[in-house]
Structure 1
Amino acid sequence: MTTRTDPWAERAFARLLARVAATASDIDAERFPLYADPHTGEWTTTGRGSWAGGFWAGLLWLRARHTGTAADKSAASACTARLTGWVDADTSTRGLILWYGTALAFEDPGAEQLRSRAAGACLSAVDEELGLLPWGSAFGGPRLLARVDGLPGTVTLLATVGPAAAASHLQRHLSLCLPGPGTEARPARDLVPAWSYKAETGWRECAEPAPGWSRGPAWLLLALADALHRPAVTACLPGHPQTLAERLADTWTGPGTPLIPPAEAARPDGPPDTSAAAVTAVALLKLSLLPGPRAAAYAHRAAQILKHLVDHHFSGGRLLNGCYDAHKGVATHHELVWGDFFLALGLAALTGRADLRTV
């Protein structure tokens, strides 16, 4: 188990924050980094941040918490304020945007107000008949979707204003996405990450993202770990959610399982996805904070993943070999802003700079 004084984690965290500072200087202050070329380090940016804008704000808050300077805090606060337009956007990725963009803020009333507004907006948008906050239409396509990337952050936002709604949103995705009771032998990594709904046909599996998508089980495990830290949410969940979390975690901790998954399970020789590994490490660290016989094993595996990422995929403060979209061939071996964020958050937890029970 890595300790708070391990020098590799301290050094990696410092290098990552130096990369954050360099990025903040290099890009237009009104734009958000999305992914960077693995050779040049040049960022592709977006005007509103897309679904990943909250991770850039989160990285700036990690820097501000570390340095304590007024300038860094001001930069983080200004970035978070630029996320305001997403409050009323029709998308369940408001959790990714507005939870992670505000959860690390400190002594910032604007961030607190934004998080509160976002939680209320998400609660108002829950479809009670379907039992979830729909994926939405903000990025085009049908809005009545259930996608696992609409879970992280959304569950925690909803939990602050409606624990029952948070539980319903999570449970609907669990019941759809995970292999059913009769197929326990099927690995959770093959979960179905996206479903569409029509009144005449009910829920139907979507072709994309397909089963075997690297971030599917990572996002689901993270959302479930977050729920387990919120008793008001788990009290509304049927069955034994911690047992379910253990089943999901087995995908990453069992004998012979890779530290870094392929972006697509059907292409084991294709691009890896370090961002999925970083998300998983944070989820395992969260699970390790809960009482239970597997806590130490989760902490060990999380540290193992983070150390492997730093030793083999980390250069110049950049987490490389993340895969934005293998199916479309977009940014398949790149630095990804959410990969950097979850690596930074995991390192912050290992070095005592972040409490994962509240992030």
Structure 2
Amino acid sequence: MTTPSSWAGRALADVLDRAAVTRAETGDRFPLYADPDTGRWTTTGRGAWTGGFWAGLLWLRARHTGGAQDRAAASACTARLAEWVEADTATRGLILWYGTALADADTGARELRTRAAKAALAALDPELGLVPWGSAFGGPRLLARADGVPGMVALLAAGGPQGARAAASHLHRHLDLCLGGGGRVVPAREFTAEAGWQACEEPASGWSRGGAWLLLAVADALHRPEVARRAPERLAAVAERLADAWTRPGTPLVPLADEAQPAGPLDTSAAAIAAVALLKLACVPGCRAAQYAYRAAAILERLVGEHLTRGMLLDGCYDAGQGVAVRHELIWGDFFLALGLSALTGLVGIRDV
């Protein structure tokens, strides 16, 4: 593997140049996934659960270029996330943390994050010990899902001492529910008064992003003393267990989107998420820093070398089971690739995002 400086900077510039093209194409709408042949985006009006990643990518571009126009575009995009503050969804963590975390001294973003932290704290179900998945996207409301943890822990922790306690509760309750026996991740469980918590059929246990999202949440929590001090030994052990799925010998750098489909599509977005999580872990005292940093760089270099075309991170899989966007550019894949590359090049401090 070559040194990161020889390829990461060029790749980062390509991804952020692509973001400028995307911004011109999508206007005030939010990109979701793009066709691998044409590069044309499917967009949403409100951003769905991915809107914060588009705002975050624009903030990375603004930091990269230092341009007032880029900063204004990022600020305006972040402001459009405000309607999600009161939405009933645990993905407010993904939307409102990652959409504001890179905003530096932007007053609007800071105020939005403060409002979001208060709303997230108010949404904590004290009996269940977590912020439920919610009803914003339809389906059962009382779910615990792996993708409802990253971002939400940081968002809750931003709410002061009470928020830190809520963040720890939200995190550990999800770990209780999402970590099955034999090292398997159970991506989602539903609660009913009659049966308690039961595993959901979808997403299934072989879902690529389930373990990646949990690893990211745990790695982030280990950088927040107000959260980590509530069970540091457990978090360290869970981090090692989840990281092992990405670092053990013979493990593919880019996973299958669904382990149940051995001939099915890959998911580069899961790999990018895991790479960022491993970079975070590499900065935690007592962790296997050299191993995690090396593996993260190897994943990022593979993504750049084999899956990045004209700034588009291809071979991301939105939904393998439904056959939706199975080899596409995904906006969160772009974001996490850019974030990982930004950490390797020194553009950002990975602990802070």
Q: TM-score scaled to structure 2, two decimals?
A: 0.97
Question: Which residue of 2 is the match for residue 52 of structure 1?
Answer: 50
Partners in 2 of 1:278 and 1:93 — Cα distance? 19
1:142 to 130, 134, 140: 140
Which residue type is aligned with residue 329 of structure 2?
A: E
Which residue type is aligned with residue 234 of structure 2?
A: H
Does residue 334 in structure 1 map to residue 335 in structure 2? no
Following superposition, the deviation at residue 239 of structure 1 comes to 4.7
Alignment of 1:1-359 (within 5 A): 6-27=5-26, 29-161=27-159, 162-179=163-180, 183=181, 186=182, 188=183, 190-237=184-231, 239-292=233-286, 294-359=288-353
Partners in 1 of 2:129 and 2:107 — Cα distance? 32
Which residue type is aligned with residue 167 of structure 2?
A: A
Partners in 1 of 2:196 and 2:261 — Cα distance? 31
CA contact (8 A) 2:255 2:267 kept: yes
Residue-by-residue CA offset, 1:112-141 (whole Å, 9 max, x unaligned): 000010011000000000000000000001
Following superposition, the deviation at residue 2 of structure 1 comes to 6.9
CA contact (8 A) 1:274 1:309 kept: yes
Alignment gaps of 5+ in structure 2: none
SS at match of 1:38: coil
Residue-by-residue CA offset, 1:32-84 (whole Å, 9 max, x unaligned): 00000000000000000000000000010001111111111100000000000
Partners in 2 of 1:293 and 1:148 — Cα distance? 23
Residue-by-residue CA offset, 1:217-274 (whole Å, 9 max, x unaligned): 0000000000000111012237521111011100000011110110001112200000
CA contact (8 A) 1:2 1:300 kept: no
Partners in 2 of 1:219 and 1:278 — Cα distance? 11
Following superposition, the deviation at residue 293 of structure 1 comes to 5.1
Task: Give RMSD over aligned pairs.
Answer: 1.1
Q: TM-score scaled to structure 1, two decimals?
A: 0.96
Moved more, 343-352 or 100-109: 100-109
Which residue type is aligned with residue 273 of structure 2?
A: V
CA contact (8 A) 2:281 2:287 kept: no
Which residue type is aligned with residue 22 of structure 1?
A: V
Partners in 2 of 1:2 and 1:166 — Cα distance? 39
Alignment gaps of 5+ in structure 1: none
After the TM superposition, list the runs of 4 or more consecutive aligned residues in structure 1 that deviate by more than 3 angstroms.
1-4
Give the paired residue count. Answer: 350
SS at match of 1:142: coil
Indicate how the Cα distance of structure 1 residues 132 and 238 shifts in structure 2: closer, same or farther if over 3 A, else same. Answer: farther
